[in-house]
Structures are given as C-alpha cells and as structure tokens.
Amino acid sequence: MKAVRLSDIAKKTGYSINTVSHALLDKPDISEKTKKYIRQTAEEMGYIANASAGALRSGKSKTVALIVGDISNPHFSIMLKEMEGRLRRYGYNAIMLNTDEDEALEHAAIVSAISKNVDGIILCPVQKTRDNIGFIAKNRIPYVLLGRRFEGNPSSYVICDDLNGGYAAAEHLIGLGHKKLLFINAPLYISSARDRFEGVKRAMAQGGLPPEALHCAKTVPAPDEKEVMACLKKYKDCTGIICFSDMLAMQVCCFLQKLGKRVPDDVSVIGFDDIASKFYLPLMLTSVTSSKTKMSMEAVDILMHVIQNKTEKTTQIVLPTHVVQRESTKER
C-alpha cells in the first residue's frame, strides 16, 4: 500500500497542494475552517507527515538521543521512560542507545546519534576517558551528562549526591550494629563510585570503626556469578554489604543464599538506585535513593533550554540522597 501524499489529499479535498501543505503546517494564510477540514481529511486517509522534510524546513529533527550503559538495568530503563515522556511534552522524540559500559560502543552510539541529526544528547558516560565527550563538543551538539560527571569539566550534568549516599549507606549499617563491612563497588574511574567510596570511608571514621573493618572489592560493570561468589567467600566475616547498584545487591542476595546465609538474619545488604520504589521484588531491598523522576526531568529541561534558546550556559545539579530501609537490612 502506497503512502498517502499531499497530492492525494489535494485531490480528495479539491484544494491545491500548496493550500494543503500550508494547512497541515498551520500557516496563518489558511482559515481555521479550511485547516480543520484538510487535517480531518488527511487523518481519515492515514496521512503521515515526512519528518525528514520537516527537519529540512525547520533546521531541527525534533529528536534527542538517550545513551546509557545498560538499558536492561531497571535503574536506566525507568529513567529512559521518564525522559521519553518528558521529551514528548516538548514535542520531541527519543532514540535510545546502549553502550554496555564500553568506550568504543559509546563512541559508536554517539556517531549513530549525530548521523541521525539529533538536536541533542543525554548521556550517562562510560568515563574511562574524556574522548567521547570531547567528540560531542567538537561536533557542537548540545548534551547533558546523567548520573556521572567529569571533575573540572564545564559540561552540564544532573547527578545525585553520591558522597552523601555512600556515607548514608555505611552509617545505616553501622547504626544497626554491623562492625565489619564489605563494599562491592564499581571501578573508580566512574565518578559515582569514587564519591560513594569516599562517603563510606568517612562514615566508618566518624562511626569509630578502624580502616581494617572495611573491605572493598571492585567489579566490572556486569559481574558474573563466579566473580561475586569469590568476593563473598573471601570476605565471609562481613555482616553488612554495600553494593554499587540494586542489580548487584539482588545478585548478592541470591548468591548469599547459595552459600547458606540468610538476608537479613545473617547478612544485611544495601544497594543504590531504589528500584524497589517502582517494582515489587521478592526481597524488598534497602537502598540509597534520589528521585529518578526528578533526575530525568531536570536533564531533559536543561537540554531543551539549551536547544530552544541556543545558549551555551552550563547547568550542574546535584540531587539529595537518603536511605530507604526495607527488608534486606536489620539490627545485629
């Protein structure tokens, strides 16, 4: 079945192609009555406007690229949904791209987005280097960083207070009577991992616990069972575990069960991201949260302000964090 063209609508309505085009573009030289009739006819015929042609006329594609590390992670999928909805309110569409926390894949995603003439990019960066951020800037594409930042870089970003988040997580476990903690963290080239680690260390010091009471393990972004199990066996005396993400925390809970340990009776586990606020889980995780909705809305609003006002103003927002206690932590 052939697509409906302007000439088909013109033939159906009896108006010229030029009049039909102006009516569908809401031009002021066409009466409201005529616009209404032409639009109604176009809709009945199944007409779909050519986005590429519209982009050529306006100089804007009305599309934004959302690039994250792992679309399957509920933390990211929740925010992608929130951002897509926020963009829709601005009359924009979203394309979503996955990097698997790989710098080469991140570069490929950015190139793909730019080749599609996106008006802007919201990116949760891999952070091994700053090369890909420099590439976006070199191509003069407006962008906002999500969840992570580069120190000393003028990029706009929306992040949560990870320093306080790490502090709050450790303080929560110490307050429950845990004396030996394990922090399963992400690689420290990731800004949120560094900040959380610093926060955990501060809470340990202020809680009067010696440095040797804290054990740390770094994981790859998507650790496998063998890696996590080895970590849990090595630090089996730890009764409180802090995980970089809720996804990792859920894995840890499952693997602890395989090792014959009960959560939270034997070991308390706390994660980050608070995905339990959106999903009902078999074991409702205690987690450090900041508003994913707020983070998503702020990122879109910052980007749209830059696009619509053609400004290079930098905006950097840090959202507060706190612990939401649920079933995976308890007093010793």
Whole domain around residue 218: which residue ranges? 162-290
Tell me if 140 is assigned to some domain: yes
- Strands of 214-218's sheet, edge to edge? 214-218, 181-185, 240-243, 268-272, 286-289, 322-324
Residues 110, 252, single domain; the answer is no
- Structurally, the chain folds into a number of domains equal to 3
Residues 121, 106, single domain; the answer is yes
Residues 178, 282, single domain; the answer is yes
Residue with tokens 């586990």: 269
pLDDT digits (tens, 9 = 90+) for 142-160: 999 999 999 988 899 999 9
Element (H, E) at 317: strand 316-319
Residues 83, 18, single domain; the answer is no
CA 159, 165, 167 angle in degrees (round to 5)?
145
The enclosing domain of 122 has a CATH number of 3.40.50.2300
Long-range Cβ contacts of 139-147 (<8 Å, 24+ apart):
139/114, 141/113, 141/114, 142/303, 142/306, 142/307, 143/303, 144/120, 144/299, 144/302, 144/303, 144/306, 146/68, 146/79, 146/122, 146/295, 146/299, 147/192, 147/295
pLDDT digits (tens, 9 = 90+) for 244-287: 999 999 999 999 999 999 999 999 999 999 988 877 777 899 99
Length of the chain: 332
Residues 107, 143, single domain; the answer is yes
State how far Cα 311 lies from the chain centre: 24
| Mean pLDDT (10-residue bins), the chain, 332 residues | 83 93 87 93 84 57 94 93 96 95 95 94 95 94 96 93 98 97 95 97 96 87 81 95 94 95 97 86 89 94 94 93 96 91
* Contact of 83 with 300, CB cutoff 8 Å: yes
Tell me if 259 is assigned to some domain: yes
DSSP symbol at 1: -
Checking DSSP bridges between strand 322-324 and strand 286-289, what pairing results, if any? antiparallel
Tell me if 326 is assigned to some domain: no
Checking DSSP bridges between strand 286-289 and strand 240-243, what pairing results, if any? unpaired
Q: Per the omega criterion (within 30 degrees of 0), is the bond before 211 cis?
A: no
Residues 199, 285, single domain; the answer is yes
Tell me if 330 is assigned to some domain: no
SS3 305: helix
* Contact of 182 with 240, CB cutoff 8 Å: yes
Residues 245, 312, single domain; the answer is no
Residues 37, 64, single domain; the answer is no
Amino acid 56: pLDDT: 46
State the alpha helices, DSSP H only, in the chain.
6-13, 17-24, 32-45, 51-58, 74-89, 103-115, 131-138, 162-175, 191-206, 225-234, 246-258, 292-309
Structure tokens at 231: 């970590």
